[in-house]
Structure 1
Amino acid sequence: MDTEAVRSFVRAAELGQLQQAADELGVTQQAVSKRIAVLERELGVRLFTRSARGVELTLDGQAFLPHARSIVTGVDRAIAAVRPGSRALRIDVLGLRSAQAVVLHDYWRSHPGTDLDVVTLRVDDPRVAAAAVGTGEIDASFRTVTDQALLPRDVRMIHAFDSPLELLVGPRHPLAPARSVTPAQLRGHRIWIPGIAPGSEWSDFYDQLAADFDLRIDAAGPHFGDEVLLDVLADSADAATLVGERDRYLWPTNHDLRRIPIVNPTPAYPLSLMLPRTNPHPGLDAIITHLGSLPRLPATAWRPSWAGR
């Protein structure tokens, strides 16, 4: 069924004049007449009777009108749900417990009227997320293409904020009593980060972190989820992992896990925001302003060489 024919029928029924309906819809009266005639043939009934005063609904037309209105309303809502500027601001984050999601939640709490749709693209390659921004599937993505030459032409990338890293260990780990640790103190310890995907931005990050500080980062095994990782840490005397300062992790009280700041220097994961070069969603300006208000890193912090390029 042609939804524009249904829309023409509804406006003609409400206005009682084909010409007025045509003027409102931005088409000719002949186009409205043709649309309604096609609709009547499809339904097998007459919807209007014509008179010198205009058009009047038949009994079938009266029965069809409320359903036709529902069709038009549904179509308008469906269009609004996917059209940038009219639908909710759709932003991709790496995970709903990630620092990006936490920062967006903090923003929403201070701006509760914001129509925000936080989504997670199930992809590891940031170039796929960049392509989704370029096509308008999402309005922005907290991902980083470490080689900006690989960004689509219609997508730009700005620095969003930096996420200082912390060491997460169980109570049996040798570093568990420490109030802070340095990267030098992490040498020789097993830092377990399962499931690092080749070609991902975090793969580039951890490769450079390990090389610069001579760290042993173990990416062995699939990642079965945060709960399994936390269970392993709670029982292990040698496994540790790295988490972002703002990342949200929850575990049973009896796990007794410890989040230990890393200092001198503090390694920080640089987070970028990819957005369209032209016609970005109007809600992005306020998000970018909020990101600019977040605390900055101390000058002694470590960031990978590609950060901020």
Structure 2
Amino acid sequence: MDLDTVRTFVAVVDAGRFQDAAAELAVTQQAVSKRIAALERSLGVRLFTRTPRGAEPTTDGQAFLPHARELLRVAGRAVASVSTGRRPLRVDVLASRGAASGLMRAFHRAHPEIELDVVWLFDIETAVTAVRSGEIDASFRAVAAPGRPLPDDIRSVRALDEPLQLLTGPAHALAGARSVPLARLAGHRIWMPGIVPGTEWAAYYDDLVAEFGLTIEATGPNFGSDALLDTVADSPALATFMGERTRLVRPAGHGLCRIPVTDPTPVYPHSLLWHRDNPHPALATLRGHLATTTARHDAAGTWTPGWVTPR
């Protein structure tokens, strides 16, 4: 069913005259007559009776009217659901407890009028594909891993340098330290089962290991952060790296210690990615918010891999 004919039918009912409906729709009276005739042929009924005062809906026209109005409302909602600026801003934050999720929570508090859809995509290839297709508007990632530059139509801005901390249980040799130099971690077992080959965080930790002679073990299945915390809490030998802004749910009695790493402080570079032609107005608001609320990057005494962009 042609929605233009349905819209014309409703306009004639509301106006009471074909001529007035034509003026409202900015078409000729002849066009209105043709649309109504086409709709009547489609439905197999007469919709109007001509009177000296104009046009009145027939019994069939009266029966069709509420359904016609509902058709137009549904069509309007369908268009609004995909209209840039009227649909929610869709942003990938990778993980619910990570720094990017915290950045988006802060953005939501600052701009509660902006509707958000927050999603969690695993790898950078999936995220970039979603950004390019319009499935999402932006993604937080560390860019770009060696040999994998971003496509020309993807823009990025450095959003946050997140310091890494050492997380240990109470029986670990470093548990009482107020801070620990990065070089002192050589020889200690750092367990990170969430490192997946080919991801941007795997590339980050590969460079960290190579430059500072660390030992990072990614053995065993990854049962998630809760299982990781349980294991580290009970071990006198295992520690793990954790982002400073990663939210932890620590059971009472675990005695976990978060220890700042220094000289230099390794920082994980979170960048915001978006498509160069994305017109969603809230995207510019998000970028402006990040520019004014996050600290500058590449600060003195910090370390990131040489491939990280933008610098």
**Aligned Cα RMSD in Å?**
2.7
1:196: how far off?
A: 2.1
Q: Distance in 1 between matches of 2:112 and 2:51?
A: 53
Partner of 2:177: 178
Aligned residue runs from structure 1 range 8-87, under 5 A: 8-18=8-18, 21=21, 36=36, 39-40=39-40, 43-51=43-51, 53-87=53-87
Q: 1:63 to 1:269 in 2, by over 3 A?
A: same
Equivalent residue of 1:133, what SS? helix
Residue of structure 2 equivalent to 1:305: 306
Normalising by structure 1, report the TM-score: 0.86
2:110 is matched with which residue?
110
CA distance in 2, matches of 1:65, 1:39: 13
* CA displacement at 1:4 relative to structure 2: 4.7
Conserved? CA contact 1:195–1:221, under 8 Å: no
Residue 108 of structure 1 aligns to a residue whose secondary structure is helix
1:92 and 1:119 in contact (8 A); partners too: yes
Equivalent position SS for 2:253: helix
Partner of 1:100: 100
Paired amino acid for 2:94: L
Whole-angstrom CA distance in 1 between matches of 2:302 and 2:95:
25
The whole-number CA distance in structure 1 between the counterparts of 2:53 and 2:152 is 56
Q: Check 1:258–1:32 CA distance in 2 against 1; reply closer, same or farther (3 A cut).
A: farther
- 1:131–1:152: 8 Å Cα contact kept in structure 2? no
Counterpart secondary structure, 1:142: strand
- Distance in 2 separating the partners of 1:26 and 1:34: 15
8 A contact 2:168–2:240 mirrored in 1: yes
SS of alignment partner, residue 87 of structure 2: coil
Larger Rg: 2
Q: Find the residue that maps to 2:302 and give its secondary structure.
A: coil
Cα distance in 2, alignment partners of residues 177 and 47 from structure 1? 85
In 2, distance between residues paired with 1:80 and 1:163?
Answer: 37
Q: Which amino acid aligns with 2:111?
A: H
Q: Write the distance in 2 (CA, Å) between the matches of 1:193 and 1:229.
A: 8
- Report the equivalent of 1:295: 295
Identity %: 54
Report if the CA contact (8 A) 1:190-1:238 is conserved: yes
Instruction: Give the CA deviation at 1:257.
Output: 1.7
Residue 233 (1) aligns with residue 232 (2): yes
> What is the deviation of 1:80?
2.0
Aligned AA (2:304): R
Note the residue ranges of structure 2 that are not aligned, 5 or more in a row: none
Task: State the 1:238 CA deviation.
Answer: 2.1
- Return the offset for 1:21: 4.8
Structure 1: 5+ residue stretches without partners: none
- What is the CA distance between 1:28 and its match in structure 2? 6.3
Quote the offset at 1:212 in angstroms.
1.1
Q: Which moved more, 1:111-120 or 1:257-266?
A: 111-120
Number of corresponding residues = 307
